[in-house]
Amino acid sequence: MNNYRGISLISTIVKLLSAIVTNRIRYAVEKDNVLVREQAGFRTREECAAQVIALVECVQRRWNKEMRPTYACFIDLRKAFDRVPHEALFRKLESLGIRGRCLEFYRGLYRSSWTQVSSRISDTLSPAFPFCRGVRQGDPSSPLLFDLFINDLLEQCRLFGIRVVGLPESSIGTENRLPGLMFADDVVLLSPSRHCLEASMRKVSEYLTKLEMEVGASKCGVTVFHRCVDKVRRRQWQLQGKDIPVVEEYRYLGIDLNCNLDEGFTVRRQIQRYRQKLHMATPFLRNGRIPMDLRLRVVKSCLLPSLLWVSEWWDMHQLHAKRLSLVLNQTLRMVVGVHMKHTGVSIPALYTELGIPSVESLIAGRRARLWAKGPSIWVKNTKAWLLRRLGSSAVREIERSPRGSKALQRAVQQVIHHKWLTTGKMTQTNTWKEYCQYALQNGSALLRDSSLDYPEYSKSLSWLMRIRTRCPCCLANVPETLSHFLCECARWGPKRLGIFGPMAILLTKIPAIFDGSCYCLLGGRFVATASLEENSNAITVEEMQEKKALDKSIHRWWTTGESTYQACTRSTLVALELDNGSSQCGFRTDLPGFILVGQFLEAVMGIRMSIIDNLRRFSLDSDDVNNTTTSRRPEGYGEAIGIA
């Protein structure tokens, strides 16, 4: 019977009534401090990250201040929620002051409980039998009832706990001893010596036997922090007569901890588990037919939280943040469709294009959010870190945000991410400079949101994002520019005319109007830089207005599919060489321009890459035979490099 899990089937009205009663009891319990401070499971303003940090902080203080090791025993209760005896639970509630109608409500709720077992083989139900043990799975009151049931577990061994350095005498009882920590059914015992740990384990064994609970010995472990584990192996450790293994590392609340509490070890294990999840999600993330927005939601909701799990503990170590960034970079490259070893990708542009903050800013925001919840052991360190990274004025502004909300987290993320985009080493690449110069970030949100509106063009949008974040000319040493590739290359003329229609006539001429005009086809905008304004002899006011009018027309076509261009001067008409000689060329398509640009890239990039590969092999073969005469060029060579 180790492979079953009971599910409580009750009506919605009963669940609503149970939630109302539970909230009233929870308010009274928290107000009167009925639950011990060591219990953090299913409580407001408590979380796994704070519990892990509390454990690490208590152990590190003992070692850093007093050079004393800490002995620990991690306990896992076997099917804890399914083994709670009902009568023992009701007696415990009555002893805590929960009587009258509330107690009768819970008695009536469990008195009418019956259980049936469903068989997958024969698809039948067993006869109903009374349900006399275990809290209801799925009932809103079950978490609180379980916390109250094992509330005094650690009280039996408080005398054998550790003293927390730096806390006043009245913080944790009269003797300032911490016997351990609890997160629902995950218990860890803390003791200053081997004899105290043995005594704590005996007390816990007696208490669990009295409550008819059972430990899962295979998931338990005994260790010692900041001392050799071999001294612990000499003893035999038992709980309820079962041998408990001695471990050098243990996974507590999803975080791998070793006997030295090494952050680097935890980060490496975190990355290892993330790579396993990424390997399972690779076919989904690489599928260009799936809308980009759906793949990004999977990254944000499933992969990214596992990568940053309890990252608040790592104290903003730059090496740890760099390791996590490298793994996330691989994930984002996979989503966009860029090869892992391709060096022409601008990482800041990739993050901006996909709307994901940097890893450093995410960790900083999580740390600030946890500080806002009020753990006293971290207030000084976190505030000093905020002052060092953000400055006093920024910290004062952030402190005005509502404490306990995510406003502080978002504010810190924005500040750190902006600093990363402006002062980071990866922002010095030419690709990122061009990305910012032509304001390509203005179109990133439109591309992400439109992936669901145009799911049939998901692969086209992937190509458009790919070329917006990298240089298309870096795969080979050929005299090719982005403007030549998008607007002028004669090899792609038929495809350009077939996809863009009348707009193709304008596309072939706009590079002659102003430099960087090709970036308008990627969602960028024309920006009148200081160098253009200073060079007043080369650019007149009419020409500047003409560039802005063309930029406005292309941007309107790019976003909506409709464009009407009004020429401002006669020189533009001559440059455009319009056959009708009119000062207007108006047209409308059923699809916006960014969809057409993506279709064009999807149609030509595969052919272009095959040509580049032929050029590479041709160059290698020529070097091997040391040809002194002109060798025959592969097919498509002239068109690929723009030579007639």
Q: Give the model's pLDDT for residue 615.
A: 52
Helix (H, G, I), strand (E, B) or coil at 590: coil
Q: Tell me the C-alpha distance between 132 and 373, whole Å.
A: 39
Q: Give the model's pLDDT for residue 508.
A: 67
Q: Tell me the C-alpha distance between 88 and 115, whole Å.
A: 20
| Residue 15 in this model has a pLDDT that exceeds 60 | yes
pLDDT in tens, 160-186: 999 888 776 654 454 578 999 999 999
Name the nearest CA neighbour of 172 among 404, 376, 381.
Answer: 376
Q: Give the model's pLDDT for residue 246.
A: 92
Q: What integer is the mean pLDDT of 344-349?
A: 78
Q: Where does the pLDDT of residue 354 fall: very low under 50, low under 70, confident under 90, or very high at 90 and above?
A: confident
Q: What integer is the mean pLDDT of 413-419?
A: 78
% of the chain with per-residue pLDDT over 90? 24
Among 33-37, 128-132, 330-334, 572-576, the range scoring the smallest mean pLDDT is 572-576
Helix (H, G, I), strand (E, B) or coil at 399: helix
| Residue 438 in this model has a pLDDT that exceeds 90 | no
Q: Tell me the C-alpha distance between 424 and 360, whole Å.
A: 11
What are phi and psi for residue 18, nearest 5 degrees? -65, -40
CB 82 within 8 A of CB 93: no
CB atoms within 10 A of CB 129: 10
**For residue 259, what are its two tokens?**
């006997």
* Half-sphere exposure for 237 (CA within 13 Å, toward CB): 29
- Sequence-distant (≥ 6) Cβ neighbours of residue 598 within 8 angstroms: 457, 459, 460, 461, 462, 463, 464
Q: Tell me the C-alpha distance between 120 and 460, whole Å.
A: 45
Q: Where does the pLDDT of residue 627 fall: very low under 50, low under 70, confident under 90, or very high at 90 and above?
A: very low
Q: Give the model's pLDDT for residue 336.
A: 84
Helix (H, G, I), strand (E, B) or coil at 193: coil
Residue keyed to tokens 């596992």: 306
Q: Give the model's pLDDT for residue 491.
A: 75
Of the two residues 103 and 229, the one the predictor is more confident about is: 103
Q: Give the model's pLDDT for residue 71.
A: 94
Q: Where does the pLDDT of residue 589 fall: very low under 50, low under 70, confident under 90, or very high at 90 and above?
A: low
CB 378 within 8 A of CB 370: yes
Mean pLDDT of the chain: 77
Q: Give the model's pLDDT for residue 612.
A: 61
Q: Give the model's pLDDT for residue 616.
A: 54
Q: Give the model's pLDDT for residue 360.
A: 86
Q: What integer is the mean pLDDT of 360-385?
A: 71
Of the two residues 304 and 65, the one the predictor is more confident about is: 304
Q: Give the model's pLDDT for residue 535.
A: 46
CA separation, residue 330 to residues 333, 338, 445 (Å): 5, 9, 21
Chain-centre distance of CA 273, in angstroms? 14
Q: Where does the pLDDT of residue 458 fall: very low under 50, low under 70, confident under 90, or very high at 90 and above?
A: confident
Q: What integer is the mean pLDDT of 432-440?
A: 70
**For residue 324, what are its two tokens?**
């996590």
% of the chain with per-residue pLDDT over 70? 73
* Angle (deg, nearest 10), helices 444-453 and 593-625: 110
Helix (H, G, I), strand (E, B) or coil at 70: strand
pLDDT in tens, 94-122: 999 888 888 999 988 888 777 777 776 66
Q: Give the model's pLDDT for residue 631.
A: 39
DSSP letter string, 126-143: PPPEE--BSPPTT-TTHH
pTM: 0.74
Q: Tell me the C-alpha distance between 251 and 254, whole Å.
A: 6
Which residues are paired to 587 by β-bridges? Answer: 563
Among 79-88, 203-212, 446-455, the range scoring the smallest mean pLDDT is 446-455
Q: Give the model's pLDDT for residue 394.
A: 67
DSSP 229: T
pLDDT in tens, 322-341: 899 999 999 998 888 877 76
| Residue 632 in this model has a pLDDT that exceeds 70 | no
User: Rounded to the nearest 5 degrees, what angle is found at the Cα of 478, between the Cα atoms of 345 and 353?
Assistant: 20
DSSP 508: T
| Residue 157 in this model has a pLDDT that exceeds 60 | yes
Q: Give the model's pLDDT for residue 281.
A: 93
DSSP 63: H
Q: Where does the pLDDT of residue 637 fall: very low under 50, low under 70, confident under 90, or very high at 90 and above?
A: very low
What are phi and psi for residue 172, nearest 5 degrees? -130, 75
Q: Tell me the C-alpha distance between 586 and 566, whole Å.
A: 9
Q: Tell me the C-alpha distance between 455 and 291, whole Å.
A: 5
Q: Tell me the C-alpha distance between 230 and 71, whole Å.
A: 13
pLDDT in tens, 235-284: 889 999 999 999 999 999 999 999 999 989 999 999 999 999 999 999 99
| Residue 582 in this model has a pLDDT that exceeds 50 | no
DSSP letter string, 53-120: HHHHHHHHHHHHHH---EEEEEEEBTTTTT--BHHHHHHHHHHTT--HHHHHHHHHHHHT-EE--EET
Q: What integer is the mean pLDDT of 129-153?
A: 87
Q: What integer is the mean pLDDT of 459-478?
A: 60
pLDDT in tens, 295-329: 999 999 999 999 999 888 876 677 888 899 999 99
Q: Give the model's pLDDT for residue 514.
A: 55
Q: Give the model's pLDDT for residue 189.
A: 95
User: Rounded to the nearest 5 degrees, what angle is found at the Cα of 483, between the Cα atoms of 477 and 489?
Assistant: 75
| Residue 156 in this model has a pLDDT that exceeds 70 | yes
Name the nearest CA neighbour of 565 among 589, 582, 542.
Answer: 582
Q: What integer is the mean pLDDT of 377-392?
A: 65
Which residues are paired to 597 by β-bridges? Answer: none
What are phi and psi for residue 339, nearest 5 degrees? -65, 145
- Sequence-distant (≥ 6) Cβ neighbours of residue 399 within 8 angstroms: none
Of the two residues 353 and 519, the one the predictor is more confident about is: 353
**Amino acid identity at 325:** S
Of the two residues 615 and 140, the one the predictor is more confident about is: 140
Q: Tell me the C-alpha distance between 213 and 76, whole Å.
A: 11
Of the two residues 606 and 526, the one the predictor is more confident about is: 606
Q: Give the model's pLDDT for residue 567.
A: 39
What are phi and psi for residue 176, nearest 5 degrees? 55, 50
Q: Give the model's pLDDT for residue 523.
A: 76
Q: Give the model's pLDDT for residue 580.
A: 38
